[in-house]
Each structure stands twice: as C-alpha cells, then as structure tokens.
Amino acid sequence: MSYTKYYKKMQRRSFFQQTSMAAFAGIMPVTELMPIKSSKESRIKLSVSSYSYWHFKGEKFPIEKVIDEAASMGLDGIDILHRQMESEDNAYLQKIKKHAFLNGIALTCLSIHQGFVTPDKTELKTHVDHTIHCIELAYKMGIPCLRLNTGRWNTIKSFDDLMKNRGVEPILPGYTEEDGFKWCVDGINQCLKKAEELGVLLALENHWGLGSTPEGMLKIHDRVNSPWLGLLMDTGNFLEDPYEKLKMIAQKTSFVQAKTYYGGGEWYSLDLDYNKIINILKEVNYQGYVSIEFEGKEDPKTGVQKSVDLLRKALKQ
C-alpha cells in the first residue's frame, strides 16, 4: 500500500471514530463523561517545633534529633528555634537541610527573637540587622517562613515576672502605645525588601508586647500592608477568652504553633479545645502547617507524642 493510500485510510478511520464518540456522547449524561471533583477536605499538615524538646534549660536538644523524632512519628515538618541551633556555619545549615530532606521532613519555619519596640534608633537597627541576617539563614536552609515578634516595652525585665503578670507590662515612661506601633511598623518595613528578594514570608506572632491582642496584631499587619507579612497564630498566647481572639486573626494567619502542656506548663497551662481551634482554621480554609509547641514539664518523648495524637484526632473530626 502506498503512503498516500495509507494516509487516506487512517483519516477515514479517525473520522468514523470521532463520529461514533460524538454519537455516544449524545446519549450519555455529561457528568459521566466529565467527572468534576469538588473537595473541601482540609490539607492542614502537622509539624513540631524544636522548642518542644528544649525550653531554654540545660543542654540544647540537637535539631537533627528533632528531625529524627518527627520522622518516627510520621509528621510533615519541623520548625526550628533559632537559639537552639548549634551554629550558623553554612556547613551546619546544609547538613540540617540535607538531613531533613532524606527523612522526608519539611523545614517549615525559623523562629527568631527580636523586637522593634524601642525609641533608640541604634538598638532598632541592631534588631533590623539581626532579622535580615536570619532571613538569609532561612533562605540558605530552604525555610520559607520566619517568625517575628513585635517586641515589648521591657519595663518588666524578668520574663518570669512578666508571665506572673499575665504578659502585661507598663508602657515606657514618656511614650505612648502609638509610638510603639510606629517603631514596630518601621522595623518590619526595613526587613521586607530582603524577605521578598529571598522569598521568605515574615509571620508576626501574638508573642506578648504589642502582639498581645488581636487588635494590635491586625493594626501592625494592615499598616505594613505587604504580601510578605502574615500572622503567626500561637494558640496559647491569648491567655483570656482565646477562641474569639484566634478567630479574629485566623483569616490572615500564615503559620500556626499549637501549645500543649502535659505535665503542667513551664509558666502557665491552658485547657485548649483543639476541636474548636481546628474548626476555626477550617472555616477560613487554612491549608498550611500546624506546628506543635509542647511546653509542658513531662518528658518530651511522651509529651510530644500525646500532643501529636491530640492534634491528629482534632484534624480528623
């Protein structure tokens, strides 16, 4: 058979096949030919904070071991407490990144300590420089999110005393709360260019100071008004009437740290209803990570596992 005859034969066959399918489609319901999947199932992923294994007391629990623990429990990721890292050498950073990858663990967030609530421009620059430095560390490790604090007035020097006072402290004499908001917004704005350049989302936590209230968090978020600033919801840092306050920040939440207190909390304990909290997140279609921050006095080996079981049960409701 010549090529021309073969080509014409294949054209006729293709025509009849298409005609037959068209006729068949005419007698079939459209839904059977074009199935449409519509699922509102949550894709929230479970992580654990390295802080869960080290509460600033005694020898630091190695980040590599946190990765191992997360992998053994079938978690999706870990978030790293900056102060818990052994070093900032690039070799160490890349070792952590590789170890996480080989164990199927995502490095979800780098939690740092800084504060922008200060009238001292030199001190503010120190905190801005530290934040930019940590953005660069996160980038080197492939971490897409950085935890920020607003900072606080530091009129109560001891953190233990601050906790005894339920996180409330007097405003610095000679200044107003509005001054604090201006300093904080200015500090964050100075970090945004580097965050956008390196693709590291800044997440402002309700971590005392100006972030002690949802109104304060939202005021800063809205004044900064950048797609590179989100909110970090710490479920245990609104000490009174937490659920309504968590609802207020849920829509703009980019990362969640879920406090648990097995064995009694280091500073305080809250009886948190995680069914209710997960529903708050699902109502705003939150699809990111919930990272367990175990802050109890029980052995982390059992305390974290209990926390994982608690959150998994809540996620399945």
Query: How many angstroms separate the most distant Cα atoms in the chain?
Result: 99
pLDDT of residue 1: 52
Task: Find tokens 């279609």 and name the residue.
Answer: 285
pLDDT along the chain (317 residues), means of 10: 47 46 40 43 92 96 98 98 98 98 98 97 98 98 98 90 88 96 98 98 95 97 98 96 97 98 96 98 98 98 98 96
pLDDT of residue 159: 86
- Bridge partner residues of 289 (DSSP): 45
pLDDT of residue 10: 47
pLDDT of residue 127: 98
Highest CATH level, class, for 43-316: alpha beta
Model confidence pTM above 0.75: yes
Distance of CA 24 to the CA centre of its chain: 51
- Strands 201-205 and 229-234, sheet pairing: parallel
pLDDT of residue 317: 87
pLDDT of residue 42: 76
Burial of 67 (0-12, 13-18, 19+ CB in 10 A): buried
Tokens encoding 258: 């879920």
Q: How far apart are CA 53 and CA 294, in angstroms?
A: 8
